[in-house]
Structure 1
Amino acid sequence: MNETTLSMFPGQGSQRAKMAAHLIQDHPWTAGRVLAEATEALGLPLTELCTTADASALEPTEIAQPAILATSLAVLAVLREEAGYRPSVVAGHSLGEYTALVAAGVLSPWDAVRLVRRRGELMAAVSRQVAGAMTAVMGLAPQRIEEICAQAGDVGLVEVANYNETGQTVISGQRAAVAEAARLAAAAGAERTVPLKVSAPFHCSLMSEIEDEFAAELTRCAFADPAGLVISSVTGLPVRDGADARALLRRQLAGAVRWVDVLDTARRHGVTTYLEIGPGRVLSGFANRTVPGAVVRSTNDARRVSALVRELRLAPVV
């Protein structure tokens, strides 16, 4: 893989039952160690949750977030330690930004795990206080969806949460307002509106109330300057230094995910290959549909991980 590669790390929604079982089986000394250390750091049975638990156990956001992060870190360890993986351009979708910062040497893995655990707990607390929802809208321009959210504001708070691709935008907010915005979007010609199975209204102003408490957690962790290019999902632009990375993680709670801008910035920095590291293939789909002629890879299963390890041993990622 001699092309310039964007290493992409997935966020919540990518979890699935037994998502790390193949990693433990095929790579016990790398993936197994990472999951065991994350389990010890948090006191959560992450190894069990990621290898044997059913899907329902992964539904609460305070569980899903550290489980996805731990699985992504396990894949990252396999690629680094068994194949000499050396990423130079990284980005993560919301939660995935923590794995991207670990990959770039900004955060230690265990600070990332602890931060994500607290992040999930705080977000879960918001969900218990607010009747929130999220819905994906397909087939309307993002600007039109912004206008629709403003129209639905008479019902309650609803905002754009994710600019995932030109044809898919996610809205988030109070349940009644999200439903009204979805109705208006359908009337305006949206191809589909799909309610998301999430437990909290992520990436909207409802999350602003937890920013100060989470910022206190962030100040307890060391943030180094990036080794390589990190593209922020909050701004869609490069992260300048460790202080910038810390500030962006605070802003990320209530700010929209600008994945369209992330991919555009990557393209302008010469990226031609896209590698999704962690469970799922959501980001691979975004890259395939957004970037004409892109070479897209994922690590979603044992076959893909093994093939990638063999390939990286012959030609490292740059």
Structure 2
Amino acid sequence: MGKKIFLFPGQASQYIGMTKDLCNEFSVARQTMEEANDALSMDLSNLCFSGDIQELTKTENAQPAILAASVASYRVYMEEIGQPADFAAGHSLGEISALVCAGAMNYTEALKLVRQRGRYMQEAVALGDGAMAAVTNMEIADVEKLCLDLSSPGNTVVISNYNSPKQVVISGHKKAVQQAEEALLKIGAHVTYLKVSAPFHSPLMKPAAEKLQKDLRSMTFDNMTMTIISNAFAQPYKGPEEITDLLTRQITYPVQWEASIRYLKARGVDFAFEMGPGAVLNRLMKNIEPAITVYPFGLPEEVRQVKGEMAVSANPMTLISRSLGMAVSTQNHNWDEEAYKAGVVTPYKQIEAIQQKFEQSETAPQKEDLEEVLRLLVVIMETKQTSPAEQKERIEQILEESGLTEIFPHADDLIQNKVLS
């Protein structure tokens, strides 16, 4: 399999029932949704599973809901598949999901941030005064010209999403969007309104961008474990120091999705995994770079399909990649920030360094290298205050999937550091 990318959907992907089946089958998904409930002091799970679609579609609810669903899918992937990706990209809101899964943003803080982001966006334009609509069957240059001709002070419409060669999204004042719709229909375009409650990625969002920037400036960001592509410029983040600026610009800038996918294809990406509800990004990919295969990853049957297709022969590198996956997906019960950095972040990076060493040298790790990886994983689980029973279960799963049970037959010894001492 060639280079891989994780794709994270944006708003309008929500639907009643999302993540319900995933949570029923995978405890890590259930734990992820429970974390969101606690962080937001609301029953987000119930809203996603069986709530009212109008309530879920409200921007302040849809954004944390899609973020939580996306992180849940990613954690299931890391627990069940464990093979890291080279890149990550998210459509609009999905860019924040990508940053969370790349380790640059804290999940709990991100949930609170996107809830505020949704509120700021909704407050920027009164409910019912803004709209967004997808436009197909029309040359993009013609849509750009029409928006420019129709816009006037207090009645603005712009292209907010360059989704594919066949689709753009227009955004702005509801009246202006309706006028654009009428004009577009007359010249043969297809126009479909989106399930959103504010005109995202338009100049009308400037007040929201200013408020979000203040929140972002108060946050702390970490280095990214994957290369993240920015919506605003279709280029990679250079580092965490760019997060505040790029996420602020994203609020008023159009989403350069087509350009982002073309950038990734040019760098050798052949496979993508859509983490979260729906398959919108899969459909867009078919119109941009159909040679890139996209695997939806939001339902249990999709998890099983990917697991079957990505099954690899047992080898030591599988143990390393699965250990990284387990380190990410194991629930944390330790909120001591210093202890977490020392006992989770540092050993995780050490495992990554071991993986990179052998990938670059194309040599096979020896038993002592694998012992070190498992020792570091035990340190991570101990720091996260994982129970001994769960530690044993996870170690046994890794050994079974990597075909190395015969080399390390006693998981209890590994956990107690008897073999690893």
What is the TM-score normalised by the length of structure 2?
Answer: 0.71
Q: Which amino acid aligns with 1:274?
A: A
Between 82-91 and 305-314, the greater mean CA deviation after superposition: 305-314
The total of aligned residue pairs comes to 315
Q: How does 1:214-233 map to 2 (within 5 A)?
A: 214-233=212-231
Matched with 1:34 is 32
User: Any idea what the Cα deviations from partners look like across 1:121-140, whole Å, max 9, x if unmatched?
Assistant: 11121232671111111112
| Superposition deviation, residue 313 in structure 1 | 5.3
Any conservation in 2 of the 1:24–1:32 contact (CA below 8 Å)? yes
Matched with 1:108 is 106
Matched with 1:176 is 175
CA distance in 2, matches of 1:37, 1:133: 32
Greater C-alpha Rg: 2
Aligned Cα root-mean-square deviation (Å): 1.9
SS in structure 1 at match of 2:151: helix
Q: Segments of 4+ in structure 1 off by > 6 A?
A: 315-318
User: Any idea what the Cα deviations from partners look like across 1:140-175, whole Å, max 9, x if unmatched?
Assistant: 222221111011014821111110111111100011
Matched with 2:403 is none
Matched with 1:64 is 62
CA distance in 2, matches of 1:230, 1:49: 30
Q: Which amino acid aligns with 1:25?
A: N
CA spacing shift, 1:123–1:284, aligned 2, 3 Å: same
Match of 1:242 among 236, 240, 243: 240
| Superposition deviation, residue 20 in structure 1 | 1.0
Q: How does 1:22-101 map to 2 (within 5 A)?
A: 22-28=21-27, 30-101=28-99
SS in structure 2 at match of 1:90: strand
CA distance in 2, matches of 1:183, 1:304: 40
| Superposition deviation, residue 306 in structure 1 | 2.3
Between 212-221 and 62-71, the greater mean CA deviation after superposition: 212-221
CA spacing shift, 1:220–1:309, aligned 2, 3 Å: farther
User: Any idea what the Cα deviations from partners look like across 1:232-260, whole Å, max 9, x if unmatched?
Assistant: 11111111111212211111111111100
Any conservation in 2 of the 1:136–1:196 contact (CA below 8 Å)? yes
CA distance in 1, matches of 2:15, 2:140: 29
What is the TM-score normalised by the length of structure 1?
Answer: 0.93
CA distance in 2, matches of 1:251, 1:312: 37
Q: How does 1:198-217 map to 2 (within 5 A)?
A: 198-217=196-215
Q: Which amino acid aligns with 1:77?
A: R
Matched with 2:145 is 147
User: Could you list the runs of 5+ residues in structure 1 that have no partner in the other structure?
Assistant: none
Any conservation in 2 of the 1:127–1:199 contact (CA below 8 Å)? no
User: Could you list the runs of 5+ residues in structure 2 that have no partner in the other structure?
Assistant: 322-358, 360-421
Any conservation in 2 of the 1:35–1:70 contact (CA below 8 Å)? yes
Matched with 2:185 is 186
Between 59-68 and 76-85, the greater mean CA deviation after superposition: 76-85
| Superposition deviation, residue 106 in structure 1 | 1.4
SS in structure 1 at match of 2:290: coil
Any conservation in 2 of the 1:279–1:300 contact (CA below 8 Å)? yes
CA distance in 2, matches of 1:136, 1:35: 30
CA distance in 1, matches of 2:209, 2:67: 21
Match of 2:284 among 286, 291, 309: 286
Between 114-123 and 104-113, the greater mean CA deviation after superposition: 104-113
Any conservation in 1 of the 2:282–2:296 contact (CA below 8 Å)? yes
Q: Which has the higher helix share?
A: 2
CA distance in 2, matches of 1:312, 1:43: 38
CA distance in 2, matches of 1:193, 1:150: 18
User: Any idea what the Cα deviations from partners look like across 1:71-96, whole Å, max 9, x if unmatched?
Assistant: 11111111112321412210000010
Any conservation in 2 of the 1:160–1:171 contact (CA below 8 Å)? yes
Matched with 2:274 is 276
CA distance in 1, matches of 2:300, 2:39: 26
Q: Which amino acid aligns with 2:68?
A: A
Name which structure has the greater RCO, CA cutoff 8 Å, separation 6+. 1
Between 240-249 and 7-16, the greater mean CA deviation after superposition: 240-249
CA distance in 2, matches of 1:139, 1:150: 19
Between 181-190 and 199-208, the greater mean CA deviation after superposition: 181-190
Any conservation in 2 of the 1:231–1:265 contact (CA below 8 Å)? no
Between 6-15 and 290-299, the greater mean CA deviation after superposition: 290-299
CA distance in 2, matches of 1:129, 1:206: 13
Match of 2:296 among 295, 298, 301: 298
Matched with 1:262 is 260
SS in structure 1 at match of 2:179: helix
Q: Which amino acid aligns with 2:67?
A: L
SS in structure 2 at match of 1:198: coil
| Superposition deviation, residue 221 in structure 1 | 1.4
| Superposition deviation, residue 105 in structure 1 | 1.8
Between 98-107 and 181-190, the greater mean CA deviation after superposition: 181-190
